[in-house]
Amino acid sequence: MDDYLHLLHAQEMDSVTFDRLMKEYGQEVWNYAYFMTRDYHAADDISQEVFLRVYRNFSGFRGESSVRTWLLRITRNMSLNYRKTAFVRRVFLRSDMSTDKRNRSAEEDVLDQDVCNEIWKIILGLPAPFREVLLLEIQFHYSTKETADLIGVSEGTVKSRLSRARQKVTAALKKAQEKEGLQ
């Protein structure tokens, strides 16, 4: 994280730093966007926009948070606003692509196979606030404090949201096991 402190002073984002940022955080940004939107194309578009924005406006980075949190915060806001504004862009961007690329269900099917295990599938089936805290905890290893800071709620809220999210997964797993037992 400290590696990026020089961004605080730089006038321009250099290409090496930019490549490194994408390599290091691209996947997390994509995952976060996907978990917020559950939309394959949205995640592609949002992660593109996040990095473009970072490249162009990285003077917005004030060093109050780590570069990672800063990236995730932008990702989050973009995901929340996605339906409202960015869809327009997406229609535009996709319009000149081949039609099969716009076939969402095919993409979604592929994606379904790419989800690592049942537990992640269950998590992805939960409402956004629950998916979000679980992703932040399990994949990103965020503490409740870091999560609270990122999503702008109190630590208490994060804790209760996490606990409810866990309960939901546990319940769903139990249900799935019972179903398996019956067969």
Partner 1 sequence: MREEKPDWYTSVSPEPFSRPMFTEQLSRQIKERIATPRRTFRQKAFLPLLFTAAMGFVVLFAWLGPSLFDSDRAELADTEFTGTVESLTGQAALVHVRSALAGGISDLEQVRHLMGENYLVVTQLVFTDKNDQGYGTSYIPALDGTYRYDFGIVKSYSPEKPTSSQWYDREGLLSGKMSGSLLVTVQAGELASIRLAYAGPAVAGVRFEDYPVPSIVLNDTTDVPSGEIETDPLLDAVFSIEPGKKVDAAHFPDSLRQIHMIDEKRGWAAGIGLWTTEDGGESWTKRLPNQKQLMVTILTEKSIVFFDADRALYVDRNPGYESRMPTLMVYRTEDRGVNWMKEDLPIDEDWERTAEAQLTFLNEQQGWILLSGKGEEIGKRQLYLTRDGGVSWKRLDHTGKKEGTLQGIEGTATGLVFRTEQEGYVTFSGSTDAPMLYRTEDGGKTWSRYSGLAGTEETGTYLPPQFFGEDRMRGVLALSQADGTRWLHTEDGGKTWIGDFSSILLDPSQPKWVQFVDTQAGFALDRQHQLQRTDDGGKTWMPLGITLVGESMSLHFISPEMGWISADNKLSSTKHGGYAWTPFSR
**Residues in 66-105 at the binding interface with partner 1, rule: CB under 8 A:** 73-74, 76-78, 80-81, 83-89, 91-92, 95
Both structure tokens of 42: 């949205």
- Closest distance to partner 1 from the beta carbon of 150 (Å): 9
Asked if 147 is part of the footprint of partner 1 (rule: CB under 8 A), the reply reads no
CB contact at 8 A, 26 and 47:
yes
Asked if 10 is part of the footprint of partner 1 (rule: CB under 8 A), the reply reads yes
- Which residues, numbered 109-138, are part of the site for partner 1 (CB under 8 A)? 114-117, 119-120, 123-124, 126-129, 135, 138
DSSP 10: -
How many Å apart are CA 181 and CA 162, to the nearest integer? 28
CB contact at 8 A, 110 and 103:
no
Q: Which of 41, 43, 58, 146 binds partner 1 (CB under 8 A)?
A: 43
- Closest distance to partner 1 from the beta carbon of 182 (Å): 20
- Closest distance to partner 1 from the beta carbon of 26 (Å): 4
Which three-class secondary structure string do you get for 28-54?
HHHHHHHHHHCCHHHHHHHHHHHHHHH
